[in-house]
Structure 1
């Protein structure tokens, strides 16, 4: 690459800065000026964005374009504000999916998904593009959205210079090596120096200690020795605690006292903030890892007399709140918790998490950046690069829920969180504080020191081809070139490098097999066959047990689906056990859930989970034309009539016993299992005197053999793994008619009209959406009904328990039909995906359908949130989550408006956008 004609631009750029560039910033900017791409890995707060801003400067100086991408809308909004302040509103644009401001400007800030969509659409906006900044590029490890970063890196035209800005990662050289492979000349710059030193502390009770012995003479970078004073203090507290546990109760009791006194519990949150205030360590961010915990912390502070602001600060805070929140409807303020939110901010205290109303969250960010909010209780989403640096970061616990279980923080997560401490240009040092908890082993000084002194944050690709990506690749370059492109991904790059270690593992395994076989006399010793027979028998027994469970569940579902009104059945599970009468048959054949009333007056829908045995009718009884089962008096009368009608009926246990006596057998006989057992008894090894000793050696051999086979499978899976997944997706899309067969043998594969529809759908359930559109499943829906059914595609229930149960009492008949057709299409798609060995599309989740319909028809926030709580079994939905799901529905409505083949459906989508985007959903939509 030749030297840039703008060789003096770095001097012009730095002349406008109020500070001198650090060494890594200087090196990165010089590489950019020479026309190289750059990858910059540096700690949070080190000033990486200066390199991105120099790319903006170079593009403007050359009369070209620069796109500045970020992973989240909040960061895009923030960077847009920063650049407008420097270069003026006429030269800076903003694109975040639902917001478009000055999109033709030479510099456009956008979310990474927007740029990906531009690349697939060959947007004219790409003409003249010279630089792309990818801020927080380590986000490509994100399980849900990370693939977008790799798509952009692979698709950008070769002449575009890529500026990748990442937090410190331990495999920066590997990541940089891949970027050099796919983008050409790229300079990798790694800097682990924090411009603002970070000091580590522990808070024990109300006393603050250094975590490390900073007076030992070592440099901070080499600090591994835990402060002995901290260790002594905790040991004394534990000893005092033990002594206090066994103190006599006194005159009113006998024996030892076993309750832990309150003075040995972790300090209250108000005491923590007061201690930090006393030590001059505010403003502080306290990471809580729970939305409810963040809100609860603010409420604790509001119940106290804690106030962290002056009169003049309160006046400025009130001005910002009024400006930011002035457009919120007055009627919604109580349900939004506005008055408590305002009171907390006026005292200098706030929460920050993804479940907050966006306008509240943005208000907190503005006030914190201005130094007016002193204490923020936040979830880890705040560590994603939002510019809210603090003097101090507090960690209440070192364990967080990762979506599946509570797991200890990794060193990388600890570094990312504590990296928010220390404001460059404001603080001379930052502080990380961990609260000691005597009942939590992860908060012991040695454990915390291990986290604080380890710098391992490997970047691992989450890239995998999706349906939308596949159809766009095939459309643009055909299957062969698309497969080649996938083989260039970071995911494949890492997979190929991993094969080396796997091959070494198989070599070690083969050596172990030779050693174990030598104990038996060789690999052909008959005892190995005998041990294999035992394994086959165990596997067959387990398979038979699983098959029986599946067959039993299928039989129960068939029986539930066949029940009719008035049938009397027996339930055998839990508190609902006993007799019951069917009030209403099942509506869904795939998931039959008849409405029943039990002899114990319980009424509700049952499923196969409520039945462990047969559910064939024991008899029938007459029912009134209308049974108001929600009324206690009606339930009592029907239950009484049920008990009377059941007299003389044959109970299931007696019926099953008669059937078994009549058949002369209690269980099915598996012929293959019988044959295997006979082979085992006839085998020579069965009668050997030292059989069990040799079998134990043989079982070791088989375990190593299985491990080796698994390693070989991993090697096979890693080699061209993405290309194979791509081929399977192409096969499924061809089978379903999204990709057309070549017109002649050896001719090019072409994308069908339905495929072009799929290419315009950017959603986790993209193929399901395309199937619903082309099949007409959503035609003839009113706007509110369309918004509601789309919510089932985007919504995901919290808690990790899977999707909500199908909604059988949807507000309208049209919506019920649309949901049923969507479920049916999803089931058919899932079956095809399993057959093609493709990861199944997430099932529709109907937990937000009623809420979405209520909002789209009424615009009333109170009743909509009440509907959400009712759908969630009493669990409330936060206003922030409500707005977030509404905006995801809006995003998909916009795609339907552009892609739907039916004009009526496009018109309904356009009207639905207006019905959903109002009130709190419309306020601060950026």
Structure 2
């Protein structure tokens, strides 16, 4: 890119641009000029487009004015990366870092921090905010994150008015809506949207070892999804070959897999070493292959290590070895085998590695450093790598277009596809990037037309996940009182979007009211007798439906009870269907909720019946003797038993097949239903000559009236919804003593105020904030030793990766005080969840003991091997990876630090401080952050 003459960029922008090794793009220039003019800015641009240059200009402006700038990121890895970048430019003395794990030069003029750290500063009215002129919020689209998104909105709403906000976001389709909200809450804000990728992205599909362009002409234009004809022809030939293989002899030596019908196929997708080898031959390395599974990432590296694949030269291997040795120098020798160090090192030396959250942080950061330096050529990664870490590649490979979202396997969204493939193409290195999707013959998610649709769609709206929490509520109340708190919540992006959605609904209500007026005029006014008559008829129909539904439920319960009570040898009558007639029970039902006994009919049919089949009398007709074992699948046995059944039935009183109504008797007449029917018959409109014609018009009126009522209910639930949630939380906190009614006339007698216990809650920033605060004030954790305190805290943080929490191996060995504390913590959690249900609030997460034994062992002994063996990854006893172990240890450290500052007793604060020391050692201390 040609640099513009410095003279063309006056002021601080000119001085800033003069220090850059490249020229500024138009969108960067526009954003920087707006920033220098005193505006806030929102920049939405693709990954790799250079958004952070605008954030770095905010740093430059703050320093030039002798003011301060905070640079926030969503994850610690990004904070570390940005800290290193700015230290290189401005020197270590001017740049600080605050991530929870690390505190480096926190009083510096420029401090990089995670967004949570800034949120906590704002609530605490930290003196560090004095002199702050700019805040950069990198990856601001994280506010859509379900778990952590609320923090971004809290910061945006709470920042002092004079602070200029620089928001950097990936491309979203509702950037103008988001920018409109920021303008509403922050004042003058310039929205800069740029959809141009600085490095063009080519889309491909790999079929076997052949690489095809996905689109006709190479790249997709706006709204274009024309798939390359050669690709379609080649896939068609592949499938035709597979079909022909069905007619060939199944000789030895044939290769291939099987399709979904179990038929052999000639085509077999290429192995991972072959894919990497193909990319290497095409000059498309380095590449990131997204696998969507930690186990899959590790398996991919092992698969490549078993092959002859080598991607590095002798000189590169020497440089790789020196980086590994420098990074891992502090790892204990006895831990290396446990960590799989030697295999991991061998992969790196050959130019390949895995990257996922389960890796030890020092391993993950080593991979990032080597990949960024161009020494590692192939990385197999989960989607977490796409969350802003600066690891671009020439090529991105997608093996599948379906991933597990925590509940089910779901197709990638266009936004996810764009974010993943956005890693392809290194600015200043590559002239173009490449996205490669592997074609799989039996995977319908990778059909060329579907991939083309994903690659050409540009619709990914930003949706707020903001909702008040206990900590947020108590901090808002303490800072600004209830009324101002409600007003602030009503200014959130979540409420902004909800209110915007209401506009269309209100228009619908207005249209409905107009139609009601027109129909009412036709009928003689809104109080016309025929309208009252139609309401009565509607009430009769609703009552009849309710009675019928009630009768059906009663009949089904009676039938289920009867089926569940049947015993072997009981003779019954099946009332309807192809199996109607007499039957004998061969096996009882078993399940009382859905009883399905095994029966044999007089027509020799054997199978399980349900309440849908059993519509006859609710009691057995009699009993008969059966052999000790009845092999009902054998025709001869069925014939003999059926003959015995017919003989037994001859002496029984078998009812004839009657209608269901006759069998069940006339249902009881509901007195209210009888009264309504009488009112209908006596109503004046009942005797009008054109009654039915006018009633049809009246029923249309009632339908529109009902629709309007439903819409108004939606409007009501959307309007001020966050303020209502705030009020419910306030009521629960008042019941529990964290909030009380003020008795001081100066601040409004009767107004809610924060109590001493509430101030304790205000210092706890955790998903389980209320539970932690309750346990602290109730003294649940008093008297625990440091390792015991760390263990019980882990139970309020930890989440097993399986469906249900499970006790870890060795849980029976924990100490009595710890067992007692865990039990009381679990009981308090259940009480809170019960209160939440009563107040119609989302339930807090339950406690999970899956990490208790592991962290207790680690804090006590520091033995990594034993601690991992005692951990529980998914509720079924499988151990955690080293990376997950370290991650959970660090989360416990963060909460221990909060307890150290907030605990009401000195012994508990002392235990928390000692526990921090006991946990922060070995692999947990290496490469922290």
Per the normalisation by structure 2, the TM-score is 0.80
Matched, 1:235 2:236: yes
8 Å contact kept, 2:42–2:190: yes
What does residue 730 of structure 1 align with? 730
Distance 1:507 1:238, change over 3 A: farther
8 Å contact kept, 2:171–2:193: yes
What does residue 338 of structure 1 align with? 341
8 Å contact kept, 1:810–1:816: no
Distance 1:681 1:431, change over 3 A: farther
2:216 to 195, 213, 218: 213
The separation in 1 between residues aligned to 2:85 and 2:548, in whole angstroms, is 66
Matched, 1:529 2:539: yes
Distance 1:263 1:464, change over 3 A: same
What does residue 227 of structure 2 align with? 226
**CA shift for structure 1 position 528:** 2.9
Query: Which has the higher Rg, Structure 1 or Structure 2?
Result: 2
CA RMSD of aligned residues (A): 3.6
1:376 to 364, 367, 379: 379
3-state DSSP of counterpart to 1:336:
coil
The separation in 1 between residues aligned to 2:514 and 2:350, in whole angstroms, is 69
Distance 1:508 1:914, change over 3 A: same
Matched, 1:492 2:495: yes
Aligned counterparts, 1:532-551, within 5 A: 532-537=542-547
Deviations 1:451-486 (A, max 9, x none): 111101100000011111111111111111111111
8 Å contact kept, 1:213–1:223: no
What does residue 714 of structure 2 align with? 714
**CA shift for structure 1 position 800:** 3.9
Matched, 1:247 2:257: no
Aligned counterparts, 1:764-913, within 5 A: 764-801=767-804, 809=812, 811-869=814-872, 872-913=875-916
8 Å contact kept, 1:411–1:451: yes
Distance 1:539 1:922, change over 3 A: farther
Distance 1:213 1:677, change over 3 A: farther
**CA shift for structure 1 position 786:** 0.4
8 Å contact kept, 1:284–1:375: yes
**CA shift for structure 1 position 803:** 6.7
The separation in 1 between residues aligned to 2:365 and 2:285, in whole angstroms, is 20
Matched, 1:120 2:123: yes
Range moving further from structure 2, 847-856 or 105-114: 847-856
The separation in 1 between residues aligned to 2:207 and 2:516, in whole angstroms, is 54
8 Å contact kept, 1:69–1:109: yes
8 Å contact kept, 2:900–2:912: yes
3-state DSSP of counterpart to 1:264:
coil
2:327 to 324, 327, 333: 324
8 Å contact kept, 2:72–2:138: yes
Range moving further from structure 2, 525-534 or 405-414: 525-534
Deviations 1:289-335 (A, max 9, x none): 11111111111111111111111111111111111111111111111
What does residue 612 of structure 2 align with? none
**CA shift for structure 1 position 397:** 0.7
The separation in 2 between residues aligned to 1:731 and 1:73, in whole angstroms, is 36
3-state DSSP of counterpart to 2:814:
coil
What does residue 399 of structure 1 align with? 402
8 Å contact kept, 1:24–1:191: yes
The separation in 2 between residues aligned to 1:451 and 1:251, in whole angstroms, is 41
Distance 1:781 1:512, change over 3 A: farther
**CA shift for structure 1 position 827:** 1.3
Distance 1:58 1:870, change over 3 A: closer
8 Å contact kept, 2:205–2:214: yes
Aligned counterparts, 1:323-472, within 5 A: 323-472=326-475
The separation in 1 between residues aligned to 2:252 and 2:45, in whole angstroms, is 63
3-state DSSP of counterpart to 2:338:
helix
Matched, 1:21 2:21: no
Distance 1:252 1:29, change over 3 A: closer
Aligned counterparts, 1:395-794, within 5 A: 395-504=398-507, 524-525=533-534, 528-537=538-547, 676=670, 679=673, 710-744=710-744, 746-747=748-749, 748-794=751-797
**CA shift for structure 1 position 354:** 1.0
The separation in 2 between residues aligned to 1:784 and 1:808, in whole angstroms, is 14
The separation in 2 between residues aligned to 1:14 and 1:781, in whole angstroms, is 58
Range moving further from structure 2, 108-117 or 535-544: 535-544
What does residue 140 of structure 1 align with? 143
The separation in 1 between residues aligned to 2:69 and 2:290, in whole angstroms, is 35
Equivalent residue pairs, number: 796
Which 5+ residue runs of structure 1 have no aligned equivalent?
1-5, 552-570, 575-672, 689-694
Matched, 1:188 2:191: yes
**CA shift for structure 1 position 717:** 1.3
3-state DSSP of counterpart to 2:397:
strand
Which 5+ residue runs of structure 2 have no aligned equivalent?
1-8, 523-529, 562-588, 593-666, 687-694
Per the normalisation by structure 1, the TM-score is 0.80
What does residue 76 of structure 2 align with? 73
Distance 1:196 1:724, change over 3 A: same
Deviations 1:258-317 (A, max 9, x none): 855564132211111111111100001111111111111111111111111111111111
**CA shift for structure 1 position 809:** 3.3
8 Å contact kept, 2:806–2:875: no
8 Å contact kept, 1:270–1:301: yes
8 Å contact kept, 1:7–1:34: no
Deviations 1:408-461 (A, max 9, x none): 111111111111100000000000111111211121111011111110110000
